[in-house]
Amino acid sequence: MLIKIIITLVTVILMEGITWLTHKYVMHGFLWYLHEDHHQPRYNSIFEKNDLFFVIFAVPSILLMYFGMNNGYNYMFCIGLGILIYGICYFVVHDIIIHQRFKWFKNIKWRYIQALRKGHKMHHKSLEKESEESFGMLYVPWKYFKEKYKF
């Protein structure tokens, strides 16, 4: 049981690196046409083409969980569960807290959230494909804490 918890948690942590790489080289690379509308100042609807990346990440999670369940809830299930947990964190932090697609957490003043918003704002300062910084989601570069709080 402990090994399954460790596999799940390690997967959640590794997903930040996978997300960073995917964001930089896939979303800002050959699939920019799906991600481009996310960098526009205003959304025309509640959904955007960028939301298809939720489906792209959900497919391996679902498949791993399905095949892992059919094999005694083995390591595949744990990896799929880790991807799911990261996806939920991503949705809450990115879509609800940062972009406020739902107006649930408008006035959070935590230092981490403020620095995260600053980093994401710097990423979105470029409306073009060649954005240069802050491709991660939950990891906040230290410079945004320093800028925000004068460390």
Name the pLDDT band for 37 (thresholds 50, 70, 90): confident
Based on the structure, what is the number of domains in the chain? 1
44 pLDDT more than 70: no
What integer is the mean pLDDT of 65-84? 97
Residues 90-145 pLDDT 10s: 888 888 888 787 778 778 878 888 888 888 777 777 666 666 666 777 777 777 77
Chain mean pLDDT for the chain: 85
3-state class of 106 per DSSP?
coil
Higher pLDDT, 97 or 64: 64
Q: Residue 99 belongs to what domain range? A: 2-149
3-state class of 99 per DSSP?
coil
Higher pLDDT, 54 or 6: 6
Other beta carbons less than 10 A from residue 109's beta carbon = 6
Distance between CA 107 and CA 10 in Å, rounded?
31
